[in-house]
A and B are shown apart, each in its own frame.
Chain A
Amino acid sequence: MNKKEDVVLVRVEFLGPIQKDALELEIVNLNELAAILQKDEEVKEWLDNCAVAVNDNLVTSLECELKNGDKISLLPPVCGG
Chain B
Amino acid sequence: MSLYDGSLDVPGILKEWYEAELTSNYGAYIPFVGTVRSEDGIDGLSFDIYEPILKSWFDNWQDKAKQKGAVIKMAHSRGDVMLHESSYIAAVFSPKRRVALEFIDEFVEDFKASAPIWKYDLKNGQRVYAKDRSTAIKGSGILGAK
Residues of A whose CB lies within 8 Å of any CB of B are 15-17, 30, 33-34, 37-38, 44, 47-53, 56-62, 73-81
Contacts and interface: CB of A to CB of B under 8 A. Distances in A.
Contacts of A30: 142-143
A74 B142 CA distance: 11
A61 B139 CA distance: 8
Per DSSP, are chain A's interface residues mostly helix, strand or loop, or mixed?
Answer: mixed
B142 A15 contact: no
Given A80-B111, A81-B87, A75 B116 contact: yes
Contacts of B53: 53, 56, 58, 73, 75
Contact of B48 (A16, A50, A59): A16
Contacts, number: 117
A50 B142 CA distance: 8
A33 B2 CA distance: 34
B143 A80 contact: no
B137 A47 contact: no
B99 interface: no
Nearest to B137: A51
B56 A78 contact: no
A51 B143 CA distance: 8
B143 A76 contact: no
